Amino acid sequence: PALLPSALAVAALAALESLMSATAADAMSVSERHDSDRELFGQGLANLAAPLFGGVAATGAIARTAVNVRSGAASRLASLVHAVVLAVIVFAAAPLVSGIPLAALAGVLVATAVRMVQVGSLRALARSGRGEAAVLVLTAAATLAFDLVTAVVVGLLVSGALALAEVARAARVEQVPLHGELPPADHHDEEQALLAEHIVAYRMDGPLLFAAAHRFLLELTGAARVRVAILRMSRVSAIDASGAVVLGDAIAELERRGTLVLVSGLRAEHHRPLDALGVLDRLRAQGRVFDTTPEAIACARQHLDPDGTELAAGAAGPGVAR
What SS3 state is found at 174? strand
Nearest alpha-carbon partner for 239 in 207, 267, 280: 207
Nearest alpha-carbon partner for 277 in 251, 238, 240, 234: 240
Query: pLDDT tens for residues 191-204?
Result: 555 555 677 888 87
Whole-number pLDDT of residue 224: 58
Nearest alpha-carbon partner for 267 in 208, 184, 202: 208
pLDDT at residue 178 is higher than 70: no
Q: Where are the beta strands (DSSP E) in the chain?
A: 172-176, 199-208, 228-232, 236-239, 260-264, 289-290
Other CB atoms within a 10 A radius of the CB of residue 9 amount to 11
Nearest alpha-carbon partner for 264 in 236, 237, 233: 233
Burial 129-157 (b: 16+ CB within 10 A, else e): eeeeeebeebbeebbeeeeeeebbebbee
pLDDT at residue 255 is higher than 90: no
Other CB atoms within a 10 A radius of the CB of residue 59 amount to 18
Say how many CA atoms lie within 13 Å of 40 toward its Cβ: 11
pTM of the model: 0.54
- The DSSP symbol for 184 reads G
Whole-number pLDDT of residue 309: 43
Whole-number pLDDT of residue 195: 58
